[in-house]
Amino acid sequence: MKIAMLGTGYVGLVTGTCFADSGNDVTCVDIDQSKIEKLSQGQIPIYEPGLAEMVIRNASAGRLHFTTCLDEAVRGAALVYLAVGTPSAADGSADLTALWGAVDQLAPHLGPAAIVVIKSTVPVGTNAQVTERLRQKTGRACDVASNPEFLKEGAAINDFMFPDRVVAGVRRPEVGKVLRDLYAPFLRTDNPFLVMSPESAEMTKYVANALLSTKISFINEMANLCERMEADINDVRRGIGHDQRIGFAFLFPGVGYGGSCFPKDVRALATMARQCGIEPRMMDAVEAVNNGQKLTLVNKIHAHFDQQLEGRTIAVWGASFKPRTDDIREAPALVLIDKLLEAGARVHVHDPVALDNVREVYGERLLYGSHPMDVLVGADALAINTEWGEFRNPDFAEMRRRMASPVIFDGRNLYDPRNMAAAGFTYYSIGRKTVDPASDAR
The catalytic residues are 261
User: Positive or negative CA dihedral for 227, 230, 234, 237?
Assistant: negative
Are 391 and 318 spatial neighbours (Cβ–Cβ below 8 Å)? yes
Angle ∠(269,270,274) on CA atoms, nearest 5 = 115
Q: Which long-range contacts (CB under 8 A, 24 or more apart) does 184-188 make?
A: 185/22, 185/23, 186/18, 186/22, 186/160, 186/161, 186/162, 187/163
For residue 319, give the amino acid letter: A
How far is the CA of 433 from the CAs of 185, 260, 416, 417, in angstroms? 49, 32, 11, 8
How far is the CA of 381 from the CAs of 318, 328, 356, 384, 422, in angstroms? 14, 22, 23, 10, 18
Are 27 and 123 spatial neighbours (Cβ–Cβ below 8 Å)? no
The b-or-e profile of 401-420 (16+ CB within 10 A means b, else e) is ebbebbbbbbbbbbbebeeb
Are 193 and 187 spatial neighbours (Cβ–Cβ below 8 Å)? yes
Q: How far apart are CA 169 and CA 197, in angstroms?
A: 5
Q: For residue 381, what are the β-bridge partners? A: 314
Are 264 and 228 spatial neighbours (Cβ–Cβ below 8 Å)? no
How far is the CA of 123 from the CAs of 129, 203, 272, 279, in angstroms? 10, 8, 7, 17
How far is the CA of 200 from the CAs of 91, 128, 172, 375, in angstroms? 24, 12, 14, 48
